[in-house]
Amino acid sequence: MVPHDAPTGEIGFVVSGKGVDFPMSHGLAGGYPGTPGRYVVCRGAEPVGMPLALSEIAGDHDAVSFGVYRVGRADVFYVRWNGGGGMRDPLARDAEAVARDVGEGVVSAQAARDLYGVVFAAGATVDAVATEELRAELRQGRRGTNITPAVTAGAFAHCGCTRSGCPANDAADDGAIVVRERLMSRLAPAYTTGPQTTLSEIVCASCGALLDAQVTALEAGPLFDGGTPPELRR
């Protein structure tokens, strides 16, 4: 946004701040939350043409989240609204669908690899073998935890994993889970969240499938129906 024919040469605005440090659109059934909103005042940008990304705007960038601000003739006010949350484990998404998203510019190649586990060969062709290998590696990595080794059905109900071939689909399995916490800012460049914003991933210990992904504060721990089990309390 830039001032146009403003009588005083500037415009004023108020930023409410919601959805900047913590995303407002959460995922479902293991889906990741949408990217957070972002407000940046670009001072001295001297805008020319119509930039399509923040990286294309010159000047000094001042990220803001709450308050009253003014933008002058040489400034640009950049606004990015919250993205929508995902549905189900991103590693279970059809690789060709991810490739289409990359081709349409709605998912970056880096996010395709880091979040969806999709590997491309020459051009935008999916390398099916490398993709399956990377996804297996990422699922294995999820089974590590920084909270507790495992929580079993003795603490709460069966973990509910429905991934094909998972031993937890057997009613005789104890349905153990593990929980992994990571700062959201380390997931992908688009997660420009606050320094305490954490993703708590509830993972099937048997196969590494993602059952739930919760936006939490650092060291707050995930939420469960009926309260947090004693095994997960810090």
pLDDT (tens digit per residue) in 17-26? 788 999 999 9
**Residue 133, token pair as written in the block:** 């290998």
* Tally of CA atoms within 13 A in the half-sphere of 204 that contains its CB: 25
109: three-class secondary structure by DSSP: helix
Band (pLDDT 50/70/90 cuts) for residue 149 is very low
Distance, in Å, from the CA atom of 5 to the CA atom of 174, rounded to the nearest integer, reads: 67
19 vs 176, which has greater pLDDT?
Answer: 19
- The SS3 call for residue 116 is coil
- What pLDDT is recorded for position 222? 79
Could you tell me which residues come within 8 angstroms of residue 147 by beta carbon, excluding any fewer than 6 positions away? 178, 179, 180, 181, 221, 232, 234
Spatial contact of 203 and 231, defined as CB atoms under 8 Å apart: no
- Residue 150: the pLDDT is 42
pLDDT score, position 36: 93
User: 5 or 222: whose pLDDT is higher?
Assistant: 5
What confidence category does residue 123 fall into, taking pLDDT thresholds of 50, 70 and 90?
confident
Mean pLDDT of the region 80-90: 92
Can you give the pTM of this predicted structure? 0.81
Whether 67 contacts 14, CB under 8 Å: yes
